[in-house]
Amino acid sequence: MRAPEVGGVRLPDGRGQVLRLAQGASLSDFADKIDVNPSQLVQALFNLGEMVTATQSVTPETLQLLGEEMGFKVQVVSPEDEDRELLDSFDLSFGEDEGGEDDLEIRPAVVTVMGHVDHGKTRLLDSIRSAKVGEGEAGGITQHIGAYQITVPVDEVDRTITFIDTPGHEAFTAMRARGAKSTDIAIIVVAADDGVMPQTVEAINHAQAADVPIVVAVNKIDKEGAQPDKIRGQMTEYGLVPEEYGGDTMFVDISAKQGLNIDSLLEAVVLTADASLDLRANPDMDAQGVAIEAHLDRGRGPVATVLIQRGTLRVGDSIVAGDAYGRVRRMVDEHGEDVEEATPSRPVQVIGLTSVCGAGDTLMVVDEDRTARQIADKRNARKRNALAARSRRRISLEDLDSHLKETSQLNLIIKGDNAGTVEALEEALMGIEIDDEVQLRVIDRGVGAVTETNVNLAAASDAVIIGFNVRAEGKSTELANREGVDIRYYSIIYQAIDEIESALKGMLKPIYEEKKLGQAEIRQLFRSSKLGNIAGCMVLDGIIRRNAKARLIRDGKVVVEEMTVSSLRREKDDVTEVREGFECGLTVTYSDIKIGDVIETYELVEKPRD
Ligand code: GDP
């Protein structure tokens, strides 16, 4: 059988063999697997019209297409599959409770609060938190660790609920994008005086897509103009039919500000969980969970808030969280107290990781430090590859030219106070849609202050630095000033998005439109040793303006497309414009003018973008 030719390059025959390649693999990785020189694959793709280097990541479609041409069946392995295989190679697995039905015990529901900006999400989380102070919780909830637990009596039984303490769906979506399901129930807050707004709809969509039951908190009922019934009607359009209308969604009218009906809302959460979810987990196994927040603490080092999903986490356990590993040195709860053990649905701050993991990373206990480290190292390598793949855009030969000529790119470096916000911000910014002409690229991101390293990178790649709830440290402000690097600080996501969006719009090249000013006919010609040919004209229509752009028309044909009216006189006076019906003398930046020529002036006005 003849070996296949791909783009004129002779390559091995796959004969239907299955090839597994990681998402984000490069042509080098591919070449390794089929034992050819990477440059052959580069050449083949080049001839097919796509320019990629050997080490550059290529899209799954390209891998598949190239493979197919040679007769291979290419399977592009997703990061999730890859991670499963990685854990499998250590005889581990994530996401399953060990044992059978009998080993499962009831666990509290985990709740995220979502809704439109200013509808009262933060206020609600605050009032739930403080409503519980003095109800037996020593000292109340004093620490912002990213989540907290409260208890509420339902049918005379104390029930616990875990609240994720970052309002909004950005964090929820970012976590979900990583395959982390951290939320059991969503409370969607709608202000009764405002109604269903775009982010309300977004929140509903996110919750529904994640298959998370919704409880609706109709907030601000203390306000004049509050129309809780109208909200019920509006929500029905999105498939959320109130129980009192025969549906199965619980609506509770509350005032987060006055602390009104908070207990009823909590009860609704418990009842919704009981009705639609089977919230059980095996507490007697090595702990598994998800990191909902992580940051670098000056005194304590990397700190991650983990929500335990199954098993029990104990001080001394060897853990791996994403690409970070370590041993649990201490655990602290939302009351600022040390805890020795954390059971399912319990959020705890874990101290002892060697680096900062990402929000949404899974955490699991393994039997040995060495295993934790090996898994973390492998994930780290993979993350670096994936990141490189993401930041390199595939450019085909056709695109290349127009890309360089026409695209403006805004490079960003994002620094924030914790991994969740950085990720949420990046996600939100990447979601800005402007125009193909301008592109946004996040070239680096991280947790902590803006450092000199960040500024140097920004200077080298012409990037703007965004500091979210962080400031510049040491001499970085000075360096930034010297290098002309723009550092912008924000503490509100929407503000950052708005500003970046307008910056991107500002990068769009203006579109100009021609606006006709007027026409003049040359009736006489004078020679001036100083000015050259002076045209004695009659303005036929509109106006002739000094410094205006002009074209020269002779016998109905445009002879000169671009010239300028360089001087303009009426009688003996220099003037800026002359109107229809008047005579004038003018010179233009073109000398070969004749009697009978028509000078048409116009200006270019910027057309606003919509
Ligand atoms: P978020 O953007 O959804 O987190 O909204 P916030 O919790 O920051 O609340 C936005 C504004 O609405 C703040 O000024 C709150 O004090 C106010 N607010 C929140 N809940 C209520 C409420 O129940 N009644 C009244 N009158 N104002 C409220």
Predicted confidence (pLDDT) per residue in 280-332, tens digit: 999 999 999 999 888 888 788 899 999 999 999 999 999 999 999 999 999 99
Provide the token pair at 197. 């707004």
- Least trusted range by pLDDT, from 154-163, 421-430, 601-610: 601-610
Ligand 1, CB within 6 Å, residue ranges: 115, 117-123, 167, 219-220, 222-223, 255-257
Identify the band that residue 609 occupies on the pLDDT scale cut at 50, 70 and 90. low
CA of residue 130 to ligand 1 center, whole Å: 15
Distance 259 CA to ligand 1 centre (A): 12
Identify the pLDDT of residue 399. Answer: 39
> In the prediction, which pLDDT does 228 show?
95
**CA of 209 relative to ligand 1 center, distance in Å:** 27
Using CA atoms, how far residue 574 sits from 150, 517, 522, in Å, is 82, 19, 18
Which residue has the CA at smallest separation from atom 24 of ligand 1? 220
> Which amino acid would we find at residue 608?
P
pLDDT at 106: 95
CA angle 572, 577, 583 (to 5 degrees): 55
Which residue has tokens 């006055």?
Answer: 258
Q: Which of 117, 118, 165 to mutate to test the pocket of ligand 1 (most atoms within 8 A of CB)?
A: 118
Say which DSSP state 359 is in: T
Query: CB neighbours of 483 closer than 8 A, spacing ≥ 6?
Result: 455, 456, 458, 459
Ligand 1, atom 6, lies closest to the CA of 120
- Tally the C-alpha atoms within 13 A of residue 569's C-alpha that lie toward its C-beta: 10
Q: CA torsion angle for 122, 124, 178, 421 (degrees, to 10)?
A: 10
Q: Among 187, 231, 257, which is best to mutate for testing ligand 1, by the most ligand atoms less than 8 A from CB?
A: 257
Q: Do domains 108-279 and 400-507 have the same CATH topology?
A: yes
Is residue 492 packed enough to be buried (19+ CB in 10 Å), middle (13-18) or exposed (0-12)?
A: exposed
Q: Please, which pLDDT band fits residue 397 given cuts at 50, 70 and 90?
A: very low
Mean pLDDT of the chain: 86
Give the C-alpha separation, 579 to 543, whole Å. 4
Strand partners, 319: 326, 365
Ligand 1 atom 19: residue of nearest CA: 120
Place of tokens 């609600």: 124
Instruction: For domain 288-385, give the fold.
Output: Elongation Factor Tu (Ef-tu); domain 3 (2.40.30)
Mutation pick for ligand 1 pocket among 114, 123, 260 (CB with most ligand atoms within 8 Å): 123
595 and 533 Cβ atoms separated by less than 8 Å: no
Look at the block and give the residue holding tokens 């600022």. Answer: 336
601 near 505, Cβ under 8 Å?
Answer: no
Cα of 492 vs centre of ligand 1, distance in Å, is 15
Amino acid, res. 241: V
Residue 254 alpha carbon, nearest atom of ligand 1: 23
CA 194 to centroid of ligand 1, rounded, Å: 12
Closest ligand 1 atom to Cα of 223: 26
The residues near 525 (Cβ < 8 Å, ≥ 6 apart) are: 533, 534, 535, 536, 593, 594, 595
pLDDT one-digit tens code per residue, 212-263: 999 999 999 999 999 999 999 999 999 999 999 999 999 999 999 999 999 9
Q: Cα(424) to centroid of ligand 1, in Å?
A: 22
Residue 599 banded pLDDT, cuts 50, 70, 90: very high
Query: How big is the chain by its Cα radius of gyration, in Å?
Result: 33
Question: What sign does the CA torsion over 133, 138, 143, 146 have?
Answer: negative
**421 CA to middle of ligand 1, Å?**
21
Q: Please, which pLDDT band fits residue 134 given cuts at 50, 70 and 90?
A: very low
Closest among 274, 207, 191, 192 to 240, alpha carbons compared: 207
By the 8 A CB rule, do 472 and 482 touch? no
How far does residue 123's CA lie from ligand 1's centre (Å)?
5
Which band of pLDDT confidence, cut at 50, 70 and 90, is reported for residue 401? very low
User: Are 496 and 503 in contact, with CB atoms under 8 Å apart?
Assistant: no
**Do 21 and 9 form a contact (C-beta atoms < 8 A)?**
no
| Per-residue pLDDT band at 170 (split at 50, 70, 90) | low
User: Picking from 162-176, 313-327, 510-524, 569-583, which range would have the lowest pLDDT averaged per residue?
Assistant: 162-176
What pLDDT digit, counting tens, does each position of 482-493 carry? Answer: 777 888 888 888
Residue 511 has pLDDT above 80, yes or no: no
Residue 174 in this model has a pLDDT that exceeds 80: no
* Architecture of the domain whose range is 400-507: 3-Layer(aba) Sandwich (3.40)
Contacts of 262 (CB under 8 A, 6+ apart): 124, 127, 128, 131, 254, 256
Select from 162, 112, 119, 153 the least CA-distant residue to 135.
Answer: 153
What pLDDT was estimated at residue 263?
Answer: 94
Element (H, E) at 307: strand 301-310
Query: Rounded CA gap, 341 and 2, in Å?
Result: 65
Q: What is the pLDDT of residue 390?
A: 45
Domain ranges of the chain: 5-77, 108-279, 288-385, 400-507, 511-607
| Interior angle at CA 419, CA 416 and CA 424, nearest 5 | 80
Return the CATH superfamily for domain 108-279: P-loop containing nucleotide triphosphate hydrolases (3.40.50.300)
Q: Residue 493: name the closest of 439, 436, 414, 438 by CA.
A: 414
* Residue (of 252, 259, 256) closest to 235 by Cα position: 252
Q: What is the mean pLDDT of residues 1-13?
A: 74
Ligand 1, atom 9: nearest CA belongs to which residue?
120
Q: Above 50 in pLDDT, residue 403?
A: no
409: left (phi over 0), alpha (psi -120 to 50) or beta: beta
Helix axes 169-177, 198-209, angle to 10 degrees: 30
Residues 6+ apart with CB under 8 A from 348: 145, 305, 306, 308, 313, 331, 332, 333, 339, 342
Q: Please classify residue 351 by burial: count the beta carbons closer than 10 Å to its beta carbon, then call 0-12 exposed, 13-18 middle and 19+ buried.
A: buried
pLDDT for the residue 111: 95
The arrangement of secondary structure in 511-607, i.e. its CATH architecture, is Beta Barrel (2.40)
Altogether, the residues listed in the chain come to a count of: 610
